[in-house]
Amino acid sequence: MSDLFVNAMPDQTGSDEPRKCLAPEPRAYPEKPEKVYLYGTCLVDLLQPEAGLDALKLLEQEGIDVVFPDKQTCCGQPAYTSGYDDEARAVARMQMEVMAENYPVVVLSGSCGGMMHHHYPSMFKGLPEENHAKKFADRVFEFTEFLVHVLNYQPEDKGEPQTVAVHTSCSARREMNVHKTGWQLIDSLKNVARKVHDHEFECCGFGGSFCVRYPDISGAMVNDKVKAITDIEPDRLISADYACLMNINGALDFQGHELKGTHIASYLWERTSMQSEGESNV
Amino acid sequence: MSEQIPLHDLGFDQRVERDLNNPALRTNFREAMDFLMDKRSSSFTDDVKLQELRTLGASIRKRALSKLPDLLEQLEAKLKENGIRVHWAESSEEANQTVLDIAQHHGAKTMIKGKSMVSEETELNEFLEKKGIHPVEADMGEYILQLAEEKPSHIVMPAIHKSKEAIAELFEQNLDDCEYTENVDALIQAARKELRKQFHSADIGLTGVNFMVAETGSLVLVENEGNGRLATTVPKVHIAMTGIEKVIEHLDDLPPLLTLLTNSATGQPITTYVNMISSPRKGDEGGPEEVHLVLLDNGRTIPFADEEMRQTLQCIRCAACMNHCPVYTRLGGHAYGTTYPGPIGSILSPHLLGLEATKDLPSASSLCGACSEVCPVKIPIPDLLRRLRHEGVRKLKKDEDPVIRGHGAKYTHTEKAAWGSWSKLYSSPALYRTFALSATLLRGLTPSKMKGWTDYRTSPKPASKSLHSLVKNYRKEQEQSRNKEAGGSQ
Ligand code: SF4
């Protein structure tokens, strides 16, 4: 198709877009580091802390020295998406400060990862911190992205056969471009079969303050998501984003379903360590 | 839906409630949008090439906009050279008056119309009817809506919300010798027969425009039904009406944009008709004796003035963003209450109508990004929605000019103060440790807003220990066991 347009491409384009018309290049990944920062995110911190601890153990098991900065709070996204830029920047500055060393920042959510990797550089555009924010953004990796692309993590599945539905957050997919890494990890568990649900790529309806400002639209979205997931009757629901899980789990529970979504960090830890824990109990 | 309450009489939330609770509408839209999404994806099979083409499309549109004033001048000069008359309209009223003047000059009583969203924007039909001129919509979807006295719910498929049954009833009531039938072909034939008569008797043909080529002074119009071809050739006067942003620089710029437009809109490699109008009739080769172009601003120069917002004007109106939008899919187009619904409408309408009248639109989005993923000219719609939210809650600095009408329309002291404390809390680790729990659960989920959450979900339960303290304990355990080992080995 594009051969047709070779003539339309030359110098005439003269815009700030790169002339070279290639799909965005995949980002470059570093060698396996010795140390990383683990960024838990405020929701995991307060609502699902076990997922954070499981992620920490898993990274340590892979031989990484994990620094969990005690002063981390929130990435600033709630204020930013609501249009309160100054308020968001103050919080973002703090996060960059408490993770100032040149270690990779492993983020337990595609959405907060997207905020730091994708939005920090633009929110500091034209400000003194611009360069700093860009450099910081370059070291930010979403958890599954880091496991797959940096650690080449190969989980050894010790669990019973299970079917799994995966929900990927929209930011993981569209801002971090990492929707495939979650699937890849699940697919590498040999006793787990991943099942696809209807409109799997569609938003679950969370959207931060959107879900409380427009509850009926958001409700219609999460109801459809719950139906699509429960229709395929998976044994488990897995996501790398706790915000989506909080939304979907809330609706699953509200409707009386037994199914409850699990963060992928906890699931991986569960599948790979269950046996060994059992053994150590002997 | 024909007994619909006029849009302006309901607020956004009420329209949402009305349409979310209409199961037929929900099913219609879901099925129609699924169909359009499938069409698009089956026509763009090579993702690398699609991304190349999108980059090219975006750069063509950006380049055109970066030279907009010059290109418009060039276009006007070229069109004049070609014998096409150009009229500038700053507002809807001016555009409508211009059309009326031309019509009255020719003593016109009837007008046949090809599809034109800009004429929907200016509410041209209502205006002309009042002045004694009867416009007839010739695009099938628009024709249905005209009979039903409704507004478009989609920019490419204006009557997509109408069921076959509703159309059958409508035709039975309104067309001569048309019996009730659910056979779609028969319905189309019945309408076409009626429309043919109108084509031959109409004094004026009016259409929209998809692209205007500055270099050659050509007006480009794509369509599938032939109504555009007829409306631009049969009546002795043709009036084209469009927004100033539709100009492109070169004829070479056109093929990639056409490919992007038709594949993104309906999954067609090209439409059945591509009309390129470069002049009125010459000699006796046919075509209208006069061609007019009405160029409408109506607020478009407002986003033009801001580099980021300007991207809004890159749009080529393919509707892919609404076809893929989870909110649009559930609401349909009418709930938005604006001529242009869906994601593009939510970033464009605030400029056309001001933020005061449209303040819900930028917020009623989960910012999922499905729109920008498919937009053929790569408009970063979620970023622009967020920017509009920002402008809506921001107070202007001293001597600062607003970038949009209705600036600060959503500003409230309480909200500003709440985010101020939120920011203090989260940028102070000490405060966070003390108060985070209550603050996070969730800032949005204050008791008054909690209801929105609990109408559909149970409340999230805070963990008894935060990750901060779990990690601390775990580190302590690690230390203890290390000490023990060390102690044990001594
Ligand atoms: S914003 Fe993009 S996707 Fe939406 S109608 Fe315009 S060109 Fe198409």
Count of H-run helices and E-run strands, chain B: 24, 10
By three-state DSSP, how is residue A42 classified?
helix
- Beta strands A105-107 and A262-263: pairing type? unpaired
Question: What's the pLDDT at B449?
Answer: 61
* Sheet arrangement for strand A262-263: A192-195, A162-167, A236-239, A262-263
Question: Residue B113 in contact with residue B204, Cβ under 8 Å?
Answer: no
Rounded distance, CA A218 to CA A215, Å?
A: 5
% chain A with pLDDT above 90: 78
- Minimal Cα distance from B449: which residue of A? A212
Q: Where is the domain boundary, A125, A150, A175?
A: A150
Question: What's the pLDDT at B435?
Answer: 67
- A45 and A72 in a common domain: yes
Query: Is A25 inside a domain boundary?
Result: no
Question: Residue B313 in contact with residue B107, Cβ under 8 Å?
Answer: no
Distance of CA B462 to the CA centre of its chain: 41
Q: Has residue B353 got a pLDDT over 80?
A: yes
Helix (H) or strand (E) holding B221: strand B218-223
Ligand 1 pocket residue status of B260, Cβ below 6 Å: no
Question: What's the pLDDT at B173?
Answer: 94
Q: Has residue B176 got a pLDDT over 60?
A: yes
- Minimal Cα distance from A94: which residue of B? B427
Question: What's the pLDDT at B470?
Answer: 92
By three-state DSSP, how is residue B268 classified?
coil
Helix (H) or strand (E) holding B111: strand B110-113
Query: Is B154 inside a domain boundary?
Result: yes
Interior CA angle at A109 toward A68 and A82, to 5°? 110
Distance of CA B164 to the CA centre of its chain: 25
Work out the average pLDDT over A58-74: 94
Question: Residue B425 in contact with residue A91, Cβ under 8 Å?
Answer: no
Phi and psi, residue B435, nearest 5°: -115, -5
- B89 and B231 in a common domain: yes
Q: How many domains does chain A have?
A: 2
Work out the average pLDDT over A124-135: 95
Q: Is A14 left (phi over 0), alpha (psi -120 to 50) or beta?
A: left
Rounded distance, CA B31 to CA B27, Å?
A: 6
Q: Has residue B441 got a pLDDT over 70?
A: no
- A169 and A255 in a common domain: yes
Question: What's the pLDDT at B2?
Answer: 39
Q: Has residue B115 got a pLDDT over 90?
A: yes
Question: What's the pLDDT at B5?
Answer: 44
Nearest CA, atom 4, ligand 1: B321
Minimum-distance CB partner of B427 among A18, A91, A212: A91
Query: Is A9 inside a domain boundary?
Result: no
Question: What's the pLDDT at A90?
Answer: 96
What CATH number does the domain containing A203 carry?
3.40.50
Q: Of A49-58, A240-249, B7-16, B157-166, where does mean pLDDT reach its minimum?
A: B7-16
% chain B with pLDDT above 70: 94
Distance from CA of A268 to the nearest CA of B (A): 18
For chain A, the average pLDDT equals 88
- A124 and A186 in a common domain: no
Q: Where is the domain boundary, B303, B337, B357?
A: B303
Ligand 1 pocket residue status of B61, Cβ below 6 Å: no
Q: Where is the domain boundary, B260, B275, B303?
A: B303
Q: Has residue A277 got a pLDDT over 50?
A: no
Ligand 1 pocket residue status of B348, Cβ below 6 Å: no
- B32 and B165 in a common domain: yes
Segment A32-50, tens digit of pLDDT: 999 999 999 988 988 899 9
Query: Is B408 inside a domain boundary?
Result: no
**Domain that residue A223 falls in:** 162-272
Range ranked top by mean pLDDT from B59-68, B198-207, B476-485: B59-68
- Widest CA span in chain B: 110
- A114 and A196 in a common domain: no
Question: What's the pLDDT at B122?
Answer: 97
- A166 and A143 in a common domain: no
What is the token pair recorded at B449?
């807003």
**CB-CB neighbors (< 8 A) of B53 in chain A:** 1-2, 5, 21
What is the DSSP code (8-state) at residue A115?
A: I
Q: Where is the domain boundary, B288, B303, B318?
A: B303
- A204 and A122 in a common domain: no
What CATH number does the domain containing B169 carry?
3.40.50.10420
Q: Is B182 left (phi over 0), alpha (psi -120 to 50) or beta?
A: alpha
Q: Where is the domain boundary, A89, A120, A150?
A: A150
- A172 and A136 in a common domain: no
Q: Has residue A171 got a pLDDT over 90?
A: no
Residue found by looking up tokens 């109990």 in the block: A281
Query: Is B273 inside a domain boundary?
Result: yes
**Domain that residue B465 falls in:** 413-489
Rounded distance, CA B407 to CA B410, Å?
A: 8
Question: Residue B249 in contact with residue B64, Cβ under 8 Å?
Answer: yes
Phi and psi, residue A194, nearest 5°: -85, 130
Helices (H), B446-466: 447-454
Q: Has residue A20 got a pLDDT over 80?
A: no
Work out the average pLDDT over B12-25: 94
Environment class of residue A43 by beta-carbon count within 10 Å: exposed (0-12), middle (13-18) or buried (19+)? Answer: buried
**CB-CB neighbors (< 8 A) of B474 in chain A:** 53, 56
Question: What's the pLDDT at A278?
Answer: 35
Minimum-distance CB partner of B392 among A43, A78, A83: A83
Work out the average pLDDT over B139-166: 95
- A84 and A58 in a common domain: yes
- A55 and A133 in a common domain: yes
Query: Is B281 inside a domain boundary?
Result: yes
Query: Is A246 inside a domain boundary?
Result: yes
DSSP line for B121-162: HTTHHHHHHHTT-EEEE-SHHHHHHHHHT---SSSSSTTTTS
Query: Is B327 inside a domain boundary?
Result: no
Residue found by looking up tokens 């595609």 in the block: A110
Rounded distance, CA A156 to CA B10, Å?
A: 58
Question: What's the pLDDT at A24?
Answer: 52
Query: Is A97 inside a domain boundary?
Result: yes
Question: What's the pLDDT at A43?
Answer: 87
For chain B, the average pLDDT equals 91
- A181 and A138 in a common domain: no
Question: Residue B322 in contact with residue B328, Cβ under 8 Å?
Answer: yes
Query: Is B140 inside a domain boundary?
Result: yes
B292 beta partners: B85, B239
DSSP line for A13-32: G-SSS-SS--PPPPPP-PPP
What is the token pair recorded at B304?
């033009």
What is the DSSP code (8-state) at residue A275?
A: H
Ligand 1 pocket residue status of B384, Cβ below 6 Å: no
Cα dihedral sign for B63, B65, B66, B67? positive
Nearest CA, atom 7, ligand 1: B315
Question: What's the pLDDT at A45?
Answer: 87
Helices (H), A141-263: 143-145, 170-174, 179-187, 210-213, 215-231, 242-254
Query: Is A250 inside a domain boundary?
Result: yes
Helix (H) or strand (E) holding B425: helix B413-426
Q: Of B146-150, B218-222, B279-283, B435-439, where does mean pLDDT reach its minimum?
A: B435-439
Helices (H), B245-341: 254-266, 301-304, 320-323, 326-331
Ligand 1 pocket residue status of B379, Cβ below 6 Å: yes
Q: Among residues B237, B235, B274, which one has the least CA distance to residue B254?
A: B274
- B74 and B193 in a common domain: yes
Interior CA angle at B28 toward B27 and B34, to 5°? 90
Question: What's the pLDDT at B448?
Answer: 53
- B421 and B296 in a common domain: no
Question: What's the pLDDT at B432?
Answer: 78
- A120 and A73 in a common domain: yes
% chain A with pLDDT above 70: 88
Work out the average pLDDT over B363-369: 96
Q: Where is the domain boundary, A103, A127, A150?
A: A150
Q: What is the pTM of this model?
A: 0.92
Phi and psi, residue A51, nearest 5°: -60, -40
- A129 and A46 in a common domain: yes
Q: Has residue B116 got a pLDDT over 60?
A: yes
Q: Has residue B390 got a pLDDT over 90?
A: yes
Which ligand 1 atom is the nearest neighbour of the CA of B378?
A: 2
Question: What's the pLDDT at A249?
Answer: 96
The residues, ordered by sequence, that sit 6+ positions from B353 with a Cβ below 8 Å of its Cβ are B299, B338
- Beta strands B273-277 and B218-223: pairing type? antiparallel
- Beta strands A262-263 and A236-239: pairing type? parallel
**CB-CB neighbors (< 8 A) of B62 in chain A:** 15-17
